[in-house]
Structure 1
Amino acid sequence: MSSTQSNHTHTFQPSEFSPIRWTNHTLELLDQRILPLASEWLTFTDAVSVAAAIREMIVRGAPAIGITAAYGVVLSALQHRSSLEQGDHQAILADIQTLADSRPTAINLFWALDKMKAALAKNSIETLAQQAIQIHQQDIMFCHQIGEHGASLLPVQSRVYTHCNAGALATGGHGTALGVIRTAFKQNKIEHVYAGETRPWLQGARLTSWELTQENIPTTLVTEGAAGHTMKTNEVDWVIVGADRITADGSAANKIGTYNLAILAKYHGCKVMVAAPSSTFDLSIQSGADIPIEQRPPEEVTRYKEHQIAPSEVVATNPSFDVTPAELIDAIVTERGVILAPNKEKLKAHFEA
Structure 2
Amino acid sequence: MKNLYFTLCSSIALLSACSSGSGTDTTQSGNKLNNQVSQQQLTTTHVFANDAGNMGDINTAGTTLTAQTGLVSGMALDYDAHKTSTETATFAISKGADGEAVMIVDGVTYNFVSGDRLSDGSGYNTTKNPDFNKLTDDLIYLTPYGGENLASALDANNSNYLQVWEYGVDSPDATVAKHGFAVVGAQTAFADVAGNAAATYSGSAELKLVPVNGYSTQVLREILVRGELGMSVDFLSESISGNLNSLSYTNGVGTSPSDLSGTVSLDATDINANGEFAGVMSPDQAFQQQFGLDAEDKGSYSGGLFGPEANQIGGTMGLTSSKFTGYGYFTADKDPAK
Q: TM-score range by the shorter chain?
A: under 0.3
Query: Hey, which of these two has a bigger chunk of strand by percent?
Result: 2
The structure with higher relative contact order (CA 8 Å, sep 6+) is: 2
- Specify which structure has the higher proportion of helix: 1
TM-score, scaled to structure 2: 0.26
Question: Structure 1 length as normaliser, TM-score?
Answer: 0.25
